[in-house]
Amino acid sequence: MKFPDFHTLQVMAIVNVTADSFYDISRVTDTQAVEHRIAEAVVAGATIVDIGGYSSRPGADDISLEDEWARVDMGVGAARRVAPEVALSVDTFRAEIVRRTVEKYGAVIVNDITAGEGDDRMFDTVAELGVPYVAMHMRGTPQTMQSKTEYKDVVTEVVDYLSSRATELQRRGVKRGNIILDPGFGFAKSVEQNYQLLAGLDRLCALGYAVLVGLSRKSMIYKVLDTTPQNALAGTTALNWEAINRGATILRVHDVEPAVQIVKIFREYTDDKGFGDL
């Protein structure tokens, strides 16, 4: 599998093979629906498809490894059938899920909401398999994270944490170019802290790693607008623009076409100063 250049602008499509993700329209639980969702995303311009079998919304139920694997296996299998050339990401914190996926389907990006804290085998597994890895900032678990929002300086603490995780990844043998950092919008952060983090995103980007942002339809948008995730697309578009303007290069989204349009307009706005093609 050839992966895109993570330092150029990419759109990652969210495919939740779950029944309880926070944005209900994004949930796909049978093979036909998953194939349709992936095919639509690729036609719309997604350069990466992110398959998730474990819901990480606040308060989500824990599930067993085998239940997660059944979902991931179905989702990745569907993606390989309908879009064999697209880069795939697997949203998991379990090293065994990564190993099974790579052994059965080949290399994938690993998108880990725990930055290796959820499974002490993860960093060594990623290093051994030689696959790209997204380290995200979160405190606690999806079940407890919203009770862990005490920071003296949220930007500094997130940047320092992710910098240390990236250093540890390299110490374990992961190549620097395979490391992607995610500040974890909505994970153990209040609405106000999320906006502080967005305003300081250039500090994370200044570390020199590719940076992924997942802002799509999150509570930091719909709570401010006093609405629902279903009505948060305009807010998502605005914040995605701000994120790439501050240096992020991967937009993880539910709505692929609007994100692709943002990237095209941003290139025109910046006169295509070093940004890659979708």
Query: Of the listed 37, 71, 217, 218, which one is catalytic?
Result: 218
Query: Of the listed 165, 217, 252, 267, which one is catalytic?
Result: 252
Angle at 242 between CA 233 and CA 250, to 5 degrees: 80
246 catalytic, yes or no?
no
DSSP string, the chain: -PPP-TTS-EEEEEEE-SS--SSGGGB--SHHHHHHHHHHHHHHT-SEEEEE-S--STTPPP--HHHHHHHHHHHHHHHHHH-TTSEEEEE-S-HHHHHHHHHHH---EEEETTTTSS-TTHHHHHHHHT--EEEE---S-TTTGGG----S-HHHHHHHHHHHHHHHHHHHT--GGGEEEE--TTSS--HHHHHHHHHTHHHHHTTSSEEEE--TT-HHHHTTTTS-GGG-HHHHHHHHHHHHHTT--EEEES-HHHHHHHHHHHHHHTT-SSPPP-
Partner residues linked to 109 by β-bridges: 89
264 catalytic, yes or no?
no
Amino acid identity of 203?
Answer: R
Q: Alpha-carbon distance 22 to 219, whole Å?
A: 10
Centre a 10 Å sphere on the Cβ of residue 157 and count the other Cβ atoms it contains.
15
- Enzyme catalytic residues: 218, 252
